[in-house]
Copies of this chain bind each other. A is one copy, B any other.
Amino acid sequence: MLKMHDFITELYPICRSITGDGFRTTMRAIQQHIPLQLHEVPSGTPVFDWTVPKEWNIRDAWVKAPDGRKIIDFQQHNLHVVNYSVPVHEHLSLADLKPHLFTNPDYPDTIPYRTSYYKETWGFCLPHNQLLELEEGDYEVYIDSTLEDGSLTYGEYILPGETDEEVLISCHSCHPSLVNDNLSGIAVATSLAQRLAQQVRRRYTYRFVFIPGTIGSITWLALHEEVAPRIRHGLVITCVGDPGGVTYKKSRRDTAEIDRAVQQILCDSGEPHKIIDFFPYGYDERQYCSPGFNLPVGAFMRSQHGQFPEYHTSADNLDFVQQPYLEDSLEKLLAVIDVLETNCRYVNQNPKCEPQLGKRGLYGAIGGQSDKVIDQMAILWVLNFADGEHDLLDIAQRSGMRYELIRNAAEILAEHDLLKLRSR
């Protein structure tokens, strides 16, 4: 199986953007692990209210100080260039250069991440403390980039299931050397795909999309309008490798099955976590949850975007993200998918009074011992609420018991013909 942190380390140096060879190289690296299909959408393609932009590629960029030293160098860190900068080669005074320099005074030793996809300009990013030391004089700036008609690339991997109802796993893959946001998402989503591919049975069809943020989901939705109604559940995965507890941002529907499933698994984990309501900012859930689609898609994160100091700076690096947190995210996502796969409505076939569990070996033989009957309580909860109205998640939630216990109880009861599947 994929070694997630190693994979991230391999992808880290690549200068990704919303289009271009950095993105393609990344997709090809994923193809080493899962049979991802690559799609190219030509620049200029109208996608709803937007247009697929020109393709951007960059080879080099630097700023030389008056004394000729390279003081900002794309080869050192690709965050140094404002992503989508147009080519430039000029000499400027410090005063004329400054409007093209971006820093983050709050974290003065880090390089901030800046983009300018839809306004043609150029710029450099650097630590604020470095900016303060720049002296007057003649600066030489050089950006060897191209911004030309080309295409937007995205990768898609469809893992067929028993039905054509789909679970969408969406992962923006357009950030340059930033790890938690979003190489962690790429690694976890790739691992998740590997793991699901190994499963013998899948009730749902799983669709993994690796796309550039915003324009990528818009493009994908524009080209797949007919798929949208089949999407039963979805997750945007990002920021899944840092030490923070899990944050789940609910879908716009608020009580969709995916929302209930993630909450149940986080609650069952007994670990600190945060559930937040949908809001129309963040990642591609903004597009999936736009009112014309309103898909049941939530966002699965550890620390929330914008809420950790390393966010969108050079400090979001290979040290910040660690293998155990990646694995923990993966395991929780697998548990969520296990809920989606198994959750259903059963109908008690013996609804009038309890069935006699004892004669089926489902009851401790010596009664009266204690109220601490754990699995047996799960059996009683399932029997009582398997009325065709409550699904297993409802029963887990109402009983306060772990989903796994409820599901196991339901399966045992179904084996004994005490339950019949009503609907999924």
Residues 107-150 of A, flagged 1 when their CB comes within 8 A of B and 0 if not, give 00000111111110100000000000000000000000000000
Whether the pair B222, A119 counts as a contact (CB closer than 8 A) is no
Stretch of A55-63, A151-159, A360-368 at the chain-chain interface: A360-368
Say whether A322 faces chain B, with CB atoms less than 8 Å apart. Answer: no
A82 to B351, CA, bound (A): 31
Partner of A353, one of B222, B348, B351: B222
Inter-subunit contact A306/B384 (CB<8 Å): no
* Contact of A351 with B292 in the complex, beta carbons under 8 Å: yes
* Known A49-B355, A351-B290: A306·B371 in contact at CB below 8 Å: yes
Which of B121, B312, B348, B353 meets A218, CB within 8 Å?
A: B353
A399 close to B (CB within 8 Å): yes
Residue of B nearest to A102 (CB): B366
Q: Which of A306-348 contact B (CB under 8 A)?
A: 306, 312, 348
Q: Which residues of B contact A289 (CB under 8 A)?
A: 384
Given the known inter-chain contacts A348-B292, A353-B290, please indicate yes or no for A380 contacting B49, CB distance below 8 A. no
Q: Is the C-beta of A32 less than 8 angstroms from some C-beta in chain B?
A: no
A373 sits at the interface (CB 8 A): yes
Pairwise interchain contact A115-B380, C-beta atoms closer than 8 A: no
CA distance A377 to B306 in the complex (A): 14
**Residue of B with least CB distance to A379:** B280
- Chain B proximity of A208: nearest CB distance (Å): 20
Q: What chain B residues lie within 8 Å of A117 (beta carbons)?
A: 367
Q: Is the CB of A353 within 8 A of B49?
A: yes
Taking a contact as CB atoms closer than 8 A, the residue among B118, B221, B386 that contacts A352 in the complex is B221
- Selected contact of A118 from candidates B115, B292, B359, CB within 8 Å: B359
Which residue of chain B is the closest to A277 with respect to CB atoms? B398
Given the interface pairs A306-B370, A371-B305, the reply to whether A352 lies near B290 with Cβ below 8 Å is yes
Chain A 373-388 near chain B by CB (<8 Å), digits 1 or 0: 1000100110111110
* Chain B residues whose CB sits within 8 angstroms of the CB of A112 once the complex forms: 368
Q: Which of A113, A294, A370 has its CB near the most chain B CB atoms (within 10 A)?
A: A370
Give this chain's copy count. Answer: 3
Cβ-based interface call for A68 (8 A): no
CB pair B48 A353 closer than 8 Å: yes
A116's closest neighbor in chain B, by CB?
Answer: B366
Known A118-B358, A367-B116; contact A384-B252, beta-carbon cutoff 8 A? yes
Q: Is the CB of A291 within 8 A of B386?
A: yes
**Of B305, B365, B385, which contacts A119 at CB under 8 A?**
B365
Distance (whole angstroms) from the CB of A5 to the closest CB of chain B: 25
* Cross-chain contact A280 with B384 (CB below 8 angstroms): yes
- Given the interface pairs A292-B353, A354-B287, A381-B279, the reply to whether A114 lies near B348 with Cβ below 8 Å is no
A217, CB-defined interface residue at 8 Å: yes
Q: Which residues of B contact A366 (CB under 8 A)?
A: 82, 102, 114-116, 119
Do B290 and A354 have beta carbons less than 8 Å apart? yes
A116 to B287, alpha carbons, bound, how many Å? Answer: 61
A335–B281 Cα distance when bound, in Å, is: 28
Residues of A near any B CB (own CB < 8 A): 47-50, 82, 102, 112-119, 121, 214, 217-218, 221-222, 225, 252, 279-281, 286-287, 289-294, 305-306, 312, 348, 350-356, 358-359, 365-371, 373, 377, 380-381, 383-387, 399
Closest 3 interchain pairs by CB?
A292-B351, A306-B371, A292-B352
Can you identify 26 A-B contacts, CB atoms within 8 angstroms?
A49-B354, A50-B356, A82-B366, A114-B366, A117-B367, A118-B356, A118-B365, A119-B358, A119-B366, A217-B353, A218-B353, A222-B353, A225-B352, A279-B377, A280-B383, A280-B384, A281-B371, A281-B373, A286-B354, A286-B384, A287-B353, A291-B383, A291-B385, A291-B386, A292-B353, A293-B352
